[in-house]
Amino acid sequence: MKQLLLLLSLGGASLWLAPAVRAQTTDSTQTAKPELNTAPPAPARQPATPAPVYTPAEPTPRSAEDIPAPQPGTRPEAQAPQVARKFFLYSNFGLGYSNSGGFGSQFNFSLSPAIGYRVSDRFAIGPGVSYAYNNYGLERGYVQQGFPKNISTNSYGVKVFAQYRVIDQFFAHGEYEVTFAETTPETIYLGGPYTEKHTVSTPLLGAGYRQQFGDRAAGDILLLYNFNDGLYKVYGQPVIRFCFLFDLK
C-alpha cells in the first residue's frame, strides 16, 4: 500500500513539473545570442598569370671573318654595296686628226695624267698636266716652193677636268687646259722659222663611256669637241681619248 502511494506521488510531481521545464527550454532557445564567425578570413584570389609569349631570339651578327668564302660553283651571298673611294688616278692618251687651216693636215697625240676626287657618286673633278705632240702636213703648194713636208711641235700644259655620270656607265666630260704650246705661225715663209711659241687656252666638252675592269680599275673612251678651232690650237677636231682609271683610296 505504501509503495502504491509513493508511485502515485511521483507521477503527480512529474506532471506538475513538465510544463515548467518545457517553458524554460523554449525561453532559452528564443533568447540565445547568435554565434560570431571567428574563423580566419579566406585568402584573396590572385588573378590568373597569363601564359608566356614566345619571342624568337634575334640572330647574332657575324663579322666578315666569320663568313666563309664562297666555294667554286656556288652562288655567293648578297653583300652590301661598297662605298666608292674618293681619290683616283685618271690617265689618258688621245688621238686627233683634222685639217690645219691653210697649211694642210694635223695629226695629234696627247698624254694627260690627272688626280680625280669624287664629290658625290655622280660628280668628280680634279687637276692634271698634259703633253701634246702635233705633226702638220703641209699642202703640196708649200712643198713645191721648198718648204718641208711636215712640221712637228711639242707642247706642255696644265688642266682641270670635271665629269658627271648621266645614266649607267655614260657620263659627260669637260676640260679646260692652258698649254704652253709650240705651233705653226699664221704665215710661214721659206727658211723659217716654222714654229712659234704661244700660250693657248683649250676648252673641251663631250661624252664618254666607262667599262669596269674590277673593283678598283676601269677604262673610258671619250669623244670631245675642241672649242678652240682657230689657227693656234693644240688638238685636232674631234678629240678621241682612251683613259685609264684606278682608285687610290
- pLDDT value of residue 36: 55
Give me the residue label for grid cell 683610296. 249
- DSSP secondary structure letters along 185-202: -SS--TT----EEEEEEE
Tell me the per-residue pLDDT of 14-34, one tens digit each, with 9 for 90 and over.
555 555 545 454 444 455 555
pLDDT at 88 over 90: yes
Tell me the per-residue pLDDT of 130-172, one tens digit each, with 9 for 90 and over.
998 888 887 777 777 777 778 888 999 999 999 999 998 999 9
What are the angstrom distances between the C-alpha of 71 and each of 67, 74, 76, 81, 82? 12, 6, 8, 21, 22
Confidence of residue 45 (pLDDT cuts 50, 70, 90): low
Give me the residue label for grid cell 673633278. 125
Tell me the per-residue pLDDT of 93-141, one tens digit each, with 9 for 90 and over.
888 777 755 567 778 888 899 999 999 989 999 999 999 888 888 777 7
- pLDDT value of residue 78: 46
- pLDDT value of residue 166: 94
Confidence of residue 197 (pLDDT cuts 50, 70, 90): confident
Better pLDDT: 213 or 230: 213
- In the chain, where are the structural domains located? 87-247
- pLDDT value of residue 81: 45
Separation CA 54–CA 14 (nearest Å): 84
Q: Reduced to 3 states, what is the DSSP secondary structure of residue 30?
A: helix
Which of the following CATH numbers is that of domain 87-247: 1.10.3470, 2.40.160, 3.40.50, 2.60.120? Answer: 2.40.160
Q: Cis link prior to 193 (omega < 30° from 0)?
A: yes
